[in-house]
């Protein structure tokens, strides 16, 4: 075990499906806690800044998290004409919340994170991600997002699922029943987006997600972004809409009109991310 402040040279290796691994050189442990759900750690790395790890799996690093969080958030929010009320399920590191609050029309963000220890770790040790927790538009609910969503009806403009891989309690976040509840929670122009894994390694998972989403939503689209510290470095997200797809509105005008400050996402990236390579098109047919 790496102890807080320990100066030894150590590496964290996150393996995926027993066929691929990512290793990061660790300087020291800043936070470690066994919660009711998982082991939560924040580690300081040599090349990627601070790193959030859940049960030994890389969640995000300070160096590349902006790509993931900007793409999860701004593709759906720029596809919506007037996003006001947003539900984030998961996202306890705070990065998704940070990006949502950049949109000036936002009046409420409900953050439903099952593990309070993840929020604690972020607030104490991930300052570049945790800028939104004390915003008056934010409401934090430490509870099961699957159960929470069952009680919602037409309360949100956008639902964002910033979850771990489909392991343990997160399995239900990728099932048809959950997507049907998300559909009911959204208003008539409502949109949803979620992280949906690696197109290189998780083909069966991607097909399952899309089948389940198509059973609930009329408009479903996959889009892509490079996230260096995720398996394969090539990550997918999935968009679902009640009334329209991600390219049906003037997303470029909305981006400029809202004065969004981004490092990866742009209107051109929005369009390009939805142009899928042939092997992914074949995967989804």
Mind telling me the catalytic residues? 162
Contact 5, 31 (CB under 8 A): no
Of the candidates 73, 130, 80, the residue with the CA atom closest to the CA atom of residue 105: 80
Contact 73, 99 (CB under 8 A): yes
CA dihedral in degrees (241, 243, 247, 249; nearest 10)?
-130
Contact 259, 104 (CB under 8 A): yes
CB within 8 A of 42, min separation 6: which ones?
Answer: 29, 30, 31, 32, 50, 51, 52, 53, 121, 124, 125, 126
Q: CB burial class (10 A; 0-12, 13-18, 19+) of residue 163?
A: buried
Q: CB burial class (10 A; 0-12, 13-18, 19+) of residue 59?
A: buried
What are the φ/ψ torsions at residue 33 (nearest 5 degrees)? Answer: -150, 135
Sole residue written with tokens 């929010």: 77
């Amino acid at each position: 075990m790496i102890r807080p402040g320990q100066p030894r040279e150590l590496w964290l290796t996150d393996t995926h499906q027993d066929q691929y691994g990512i290793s990061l050189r660790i300087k020291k442990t800043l936070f470690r806690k066994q919660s009711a759900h998982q082991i939560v750690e924040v580690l300081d790395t040599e090349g990627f800044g601070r790193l959030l790890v859940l049960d030994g799996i890389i969640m995000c690093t300070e160096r590349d998290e902006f790509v993931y969080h900007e793409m999860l958030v701004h593709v759906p929010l720029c596809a919506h004409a007037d996003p006001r009320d947003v539900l984030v399920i998961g996202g306890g590191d705070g990065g998704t919340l940070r990006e949502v609050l950049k949109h000036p029309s936002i009046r409420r963000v409900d953050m439903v994170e099952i593990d309070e220890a993840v929020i604690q770790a972020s607030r104490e040790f991930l300052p570049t991600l945790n800028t939104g927790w004390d915003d008056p538009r934010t409401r934090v609910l430490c509870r099961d997002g699957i159960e929470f969503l069952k009680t919602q009806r037409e309360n949100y403009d956008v639902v964002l699922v910033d979850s771990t891989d489909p392991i343990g309690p997160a399995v239900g976040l990728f099932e048809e029943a959950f997507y049907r509840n998300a559909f009911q929670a959204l208003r008539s122009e409502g949109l949803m987006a979620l992280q949906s894994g690696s197109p290189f390694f998780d083909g069966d998972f991607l097909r399952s997600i899309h089948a389940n989403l198509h059973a609930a939503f009329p408009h479903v689209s996959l889009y892509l972004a490079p996230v260096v510290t995720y398996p394969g470095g090539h990550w997918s997200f999935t968009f679902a809409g009640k009334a329209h797809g991600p390219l049906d509105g003037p997303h470029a005008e909305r981006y400029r009109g809202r004065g969004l400050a981004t490092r990866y996402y742009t209107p051109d990236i929005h369009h390009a991310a939805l142009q899928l390579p042939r092997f992914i098109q074949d995967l989804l047919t």
